[in-house]
Structures are given as C-alpha cells and as structure tokens.
Structure 1
Amino acid sequence: MAGKVLCEPTELYNILSQHHRHSRLTEPNYLCLIDARAEGPYYCSHIATARNAKWDSKGKFIVPPDVEIESMRYITVYDSSTSSFLDSGPAIDCAESLEKVSRYPVQVLTGGYERFSAVYPFFRTQKMIYTIRELESLRPYPVEILPGQLYMGDFKQAANPKILRDLRLTALINVSEESSLVSEKGSFSVLHVRVADSVDADLSGSFERVCVFLASCLNAGSAAFIFSPHGVSRCSAMAMAFLMHHLQYTLKEAWDHVRKCKANMRPNRGFVQQLSSWELSVQGRTVTDVSEPNY
C-alpha cells in the first residue's frame, strides 16, 4: 500500500505545468486527477483534465477501469474543501481506495476545489474530454517557485500576454543573450541578464544584482518571472541563487526545491560550480558536494 499524502495547491499547479516538448499531460501514465464532488458541481466547473468520481450502489468508489492506476506517476483527488486526513468526505474515501493499488502515494488536494480555484481560476473549466491533440496544444504555465511571488519558465511563456495577466506578473528577469522581449514589455519592471548558456559564461557576476532586484519586487508585493530561452539551465540557476540568498538555503536545498517545481531543470556544469561558490559566499562555508552525480 503506497499510502496517501496531502498536496498543496502549488504542488498540483506545478504538476499541471510540467512540459518538455509538449505538456506532460499528454503522457498516459503521468497524472490521474479525480474530482470527488457530486456530478452537479463537477459539470458546473472543475480543474482542467479532472474526471468525475464514480460510485457503486453501496457508495463505494469505483476505480476507473480505463486508467492503469498501478503505473500512474501522480494520482490526485479532491472534493470541495477537505484540508486534513482528520476530515471525512469523498476525497478521503477515493484516496483510501486508490492507495491500495497505487505504486506512488495518492495525493489529497488541501482545501479542495474551493481553495485551488480561488488561487488559480484560469484552471477552471467545464471541458470533460480531451483528445491527445488538444492536450498537445495546451500552453503550460511557468512553474511556481514561491507561491504567488516567483515563477520560472521560458521565452514562449514570457511572450504570452494571457500568462502574464493570469499570474499577475509585474516584474520580468530575462536571463539570455536575446534582448528583444525586454523592449516589448515597457509596462513591466524588467531586468536583462545578458549571458550565454555555456560552461564558460559568467552568471555569478549577476547573482547579487538579481537578488536585490527580486527582493525589492517581492517586498513591494509584486510577482516576478525568471525566464530563459528553454527554461531549463540559466533561469533555474538564477532561481537557486535567489533562494540561497533570500531564504538562506544551501545549494542542495535550493536544488531540491527547484527540481521539485520543475522536474527537467538542469543548470550546466559551469553554473553549478558558480552556485557552489555562491553557497560559500552566502553561508560562509561550502555545504553541498557538487561532485555528487545529482549535480
């Protein structure tokens, strides 16, 4: 039995936002999202890609026959407002049935639909069935590094007005050699860090400047977005540098945090070495062994 865990709204948001070439929601064994509310509320509005739970005549949850639960990477269930395993309700009932056959812990969304849809209203939908082509055409959102404050992603997301509007972004950090987007975003606070994605490139020379800029934005209540061309190397290194400075994280803690938010993040080896030096500067000592295979 894999057990069950609580899932914060930001965790589900990031699960829904993972992508490589296409949204990871196109992968058949990636996410099974179950809405355990009654049919009426579900048909009115639910989280995108969620399926409505089915129950037998005795009120027992019916495991979806067309889903390979045992091989599903994420199984997340929610009802209206369950927030604790001490609560009773359909989400807990679903989770208890699913954990018996799941390989991974079943997630119960903390606060249910009410809390998630209040924070991420743009994920509300009435659509119940998606074709593969429709899933491939989905435009994933940037991952959320600090809830409601800091996001990380790529050029396409930074150029999408709907994403900028939905996330209420007011500050942009462009970590790339390309500056064209900067000139197009005159209504935003913009910082451009001109650097190549090369093991020889100097990213650390901008760590302090970016940390000061971001801290100022966050202290003013602004939401900021760090992006690079593919949202994998340069922006993830910069996000780690900020976490190490702002929250006093070690490099390992910052690495684990960003990887949890974006599974395919990967700073190049030169940036890893620069982050190690930054850890020494911030912590006063080297804590993380970057010679380990994880880095």
Structure 2
Amino acid sequence: MAELVLCEPTELYNILNQVSKLSRLAEPNYLCLLDVRNKREYDESHVITARRVKQKGSEYLIPESVDLECVKYCVVYDSNTSSLEVFFEEKDDEKSDKDRQVPVLGTAIEYARVLSRFTRHPVYILRGGYECFSALYHFFRTQKIIWMPQELDAFQPYPVEITPGKIYLGNFSQACNPKIQKDLKIKAHVNVSMEAGPFFIGDSDKLLHIQVEDTLDANITPFFRHLCHFIDVHLELDSVILVFSKLGISRSCAALLAYLMHQNGQTLKKSWIYLKRCKNNMRPNRGFVKQLQLWEKTVIGDIVTDILDPLF
C-alpha cells in the first residue's frame, strides 16, 4: 500500500500554480484532486479542477479515466480532516468501556486508504480540508465541474507561496495583474528585472527595484543586503511581499535564495531544496549560483555548499 501523507494548504496552492510552458494542470497525469464531501457541498463550491468522489452503496468508486500509477500528485480532501490519527467514538450500549470505543476515520483518510491500493506513490490528504483551504484561498473556489483541455491550457497561475501568507514568488505579468494583487493582498514588491512598468509608478516606499540583467556576468551580490533589509522591514510592518522577475525563474529565485539563507541562517543547499519544492521550474543562472555560494560565507561564515552537486 502507498503511504498516506498530510498535505498543507500551501502545498496544494503551489501544486495548483506550477508552470512549464503552460499551467501544469493541463498535463493529464500531473494532478488528481478528489473531493469526498457530499454532492450538495461539492455543487455549492469546491477547489478548482476537483472531481467529486462517487459512491455505490457504501463503497467508494475509483475515478474513471485516471491512471493512479502515473499521477504525480493524488490529493484527497473532505470538509476538515486535520490529522492522520484514528479517533474513537463512544458506542451507546451496555458493553465495557473498552468495547464501546469504536475507531473512526475521517472521510478523506478512509478514501485515501482505498486509493493507496492502486498506486505506489504517496496519496496526499489536505490538512484542514476544504474549510481551511477555501478560507485561505477563496479565489480558488468554483462551481465549475468539467474543465476542457483548452481551458486548462489557458489557466493563469498565481505566484507561488514561499512563506505562507507573507512572501510570494512570481513573474512580471503576475505582478502587474490587479486581481492577483488584490487576492493575495500584496502590499510590497521586489522587482528583480530591468523592466519598470507603469503599474509601480509612485510606489517607491513599497517597491525595491533591483535592475540586473539575467546574464552570466551580471553582478547581483551588491543588492543582497538591501534586499534582505527591505523584506525584513516589510514583514515587520505585516506587509505581504511579491518578489518577481520577467519570467520568475532566474533573477527573482536568486534573490529569494539569498533572503532565505539570511532569514534562516542556513546553507545555499538547504534553501535551494526548499525553494525548489515551492517552484518546480526555478533555475537561477550559473553566475548567480556562484554568487550565492559566496553569500553563504557571509551568512554562515563558511562555504559549505558544493555547487557542482547534481542538485544544482
């Protein structure tokens, strides 16, 4: 049987917002998101692209046209399951106290156990269920049931979440999108690109513009201290921050790696692994990676990370 794993709301949010050339939701074997609430609750509102799990009597059915062995992420949610632990319910009869304790599983766990028999990959259970996720990301609620391939191709991802509710990583287009700014409550921006754009004019107190080219010989190191100070100040002000570059793959990722190393006093390798989990296609150019290795010495007093490691 496959392993059952709790999935944090932030993880599902980031899974939904990954891109290659297009949204990864367009890939047939990328995500299978399953809603095990009742039909009334599902019809009222569910997470985008979620399918409702159907039952035949008391038996849960496996969704049709899904090859669970090939699916990268299989995520199940109910209303509010928050733990993988079994809890016990008192049975109202005359048996002893021990015999009256009846083990009860959350609906999501129960169904995940069924799915685990059909795959070797982990089956993820959304912590807090729909109630928690929809409270955090209300803009991902929908009543839409059927998604055509062209609709998934055209799906516009949001910036990924690096620090829950505090720091996001995105591209220039997302930074200029008023709806995204409103939905994520963005208050401060770090623009790591040459482009300025009319959207940010007159916002100097809440904008740090790091003008650097995405080339192997571009020098980003002189900006690291100012970058870290800017983000620290705005976190203290309880501002939500978006760090972005033109494509959101190289320059903005290098900037956030520098900040994560500073914030947590940790190595480049540890910061890289964390950021890679948040954004699958992040790829700072080799010149930036070498500068981040030197920044590691500034942060922790020594160069520990080997950038020749296949990880990089």
Q: C-alpha distance in 2, partners of 1:223/1:120? A: 15
Q: C-alpha distance in 2, partners of 1:45/1:145? A: 26
Correspondent of 2:106 among 89, 96, 104: 89
Q: 1:278 to 1:97 in 2, by over 3 A?
A: same
Q: C-alpha distance in 1, partners of 2:217/2:295? A: 16
Partner amino acid, structure 2, of 1:64: P
Alignment of 1:111-260 (within 5 A): 111-181=128-198, 183-184=200-201, 186=203, 189-260=206-277
Cα drift, residue 182 of structure 1: 5.9
Correspondent of 1:101 among 89, 106, 118: 118
CA contact 1:174–1:182 (8 Å) conserved in 2: no
Q: State yes or no: 1:16 paired with 2:12.
A: no
C-alpha distance after superposition, 1:122-177 (max 9, x if no partner): 00010011101111121100000000000001011011100000000000010011
Cα drift, residue 183 of structure 1: 3.9
Q: 1:250 to 1:159 in 2, by over 3 A?
A: same
Stretches of structure 1 that go unaligned for 5 or more consecutive residues are none
Q: C-alpha distance in 1, partners of 2:307/2:204? A: 40
C-alpha distance after superposition, 1:190-247 (max 9, x if no partner): 1100000011001111011000000001111000000001110000111110000011
Structure 2 match to 1:48: 48
CA RMSD across the alignment: 1.2
Q: Paired residues, what number? A: 294
Question: Sequence identity, in percent?
Answer: 48
Stretches of structure 2 that go unaligned for 5 or more consecutive residues are 87-104
Cα drift, residue 180 of structure 1: 2.1
Partner amino acid, structure 1, of 2:33: L
The TM-score with structure 1 as length reference comes to 0.97
Partner amino acid, structure 2, of 1:43: D
Cα drift, residue 187 of structure 1: 8.4
Find the residue that maps to 1:71 and give its secondary structure: coil
Q: C-alpha distance in 1, partners of 2:238/2:126? A: 26
Partner amino acid, structure 2, of 1:69: L
Find the residue that maps to 2:76 and give its secondary structure: strand
Q: 1:222 to 1:175 in 2, by over 3 A?
A: same
Structure 2 match to 1:35: 35
CA contact 1:72–1:103 (8 Å) conserved in 2: no
Which deviates more from structure 2 when the two are superposed, residues 139-148 or residues 94-103? 94-103
Q: 1:291 to 1:187 in 2, by over 3 A?
A: closer
Which deviates more from structure 2 when the two are superposed, residues 182-191 or residues 67-76? 182-191
Partner amino acid, structure 2, of 1:196: E
Find the residue that maps to 1:69 and give its secondary structure: coil
Partner amino acid, structure 1, of 2:81: T
Q: 1:224 to 1:115 in 2, by over 3 A?
A: same
Q: Please say which structure displays the higher CA radius of gyration.
A: 2
Structure 2 match to 1:6: 6
Q: State yes or no: 1:61 paired with 2:60.
A: yes
Structure 1 match to 2:74: 75
Q: C-alpha distance in 2, partners of 1:211/1:179? A: 21
C-alpha distance after superposition, 1:72-120 (max 9, x if no partner): 0000000000001115221011110111112320000000000000000
CA contact 1:182–1:190 (8 Å) conserved in 2: no
CA contact 1:171–1:217 (8 Å) conserved in 2: yes
The TM-score with structure 2 as length reference comes to 0.92
